[in-house]
Amino acid sequence: MAFSETQVRVRYAETDQMGVVYYANYFVWFEVGRVEYLRARGISYRDMEKDDDCKIAVVDARCRYKAPARYDDLITIRTRVSRQRGALVHFAYEAVRAEDGLLLAEGETVHVCIDSQFQACPLPEKYQVLSEETA
């Protein structure tokens, strides 16, 4: 199954007083992973919102934390579409420490395509690449 990789470097702002990355921030990185996954397939999520009246709202998000990410670590985010049907898209992620490949966290998010009225709608035809990759 095809996946994309992108990297983020841990910002001081993302740490907490435990000296590790605060848990909610992994979901921000997953968002970065999603957008870069789409970009690698020629899809600009910005244009998708603006030109196609199609937003991808989150309905479920999960993360399992394996090892702490620390300040200034370079993190590889691996993203793939694990399932796509109708209005629903499932993404899966891994956050890996770039230096040594240590798995830091795994996660999934489920999204529903909505229009500007916040109504569910099928993923526009031109984005069918997302479903093909899960075949």
Q: Is 132 helix (H, G, I), strand (E, B) or coil?
A: helix
| Complex with a second copy: residue 1 or 118, whichever CB lies closer | 118
Instruction: Supply the DSSP string of 4-59, one letter for each residue.
Output: EEEEEE--GGGB-TTSSB-TTHHHHHHHHHHHHHHHHTT--HHHHHHHS--EEEEE
Residues 26-65 that bind a second copy (CB under 8 A): 27-28, 31-32, 35, 44-46, 55, 57-65
- Say whether residue 134 binds a second copy (CB under 8 A): no
Residues 10-29 that bind a second copy (CB under 8 A): 11-13, 15-20, 22-25, 27-28
| Complex with a second copy: residue 46 or 132, whichever CB lies closer | 46
CA atoms within 13 A on the CB side of 16: 7
The DSSP code for 134 is T
- Say whether residue 123 binds a second copy (CB under 8 A): no
Q: Is 1 helix (H, G, I), strand (E, B) or coil?
A: coil
For the question of residue 60 being annotated catalytic, the response is: no
| Complex with a second copy: residue 20 or 95, whichever CB lies closer | 20
Residue from 41, 43, 52, 68 touching a second copy (CB under 8 A): that is 68
Residues labelled catalytic: 16
Residues at the interface with a second copy (CB under 8 A): 9, 11-13, 15-20, 22-25, 27-28, 31-32, 35, 44-46, 55, 57-65, 68, 71-72, 118
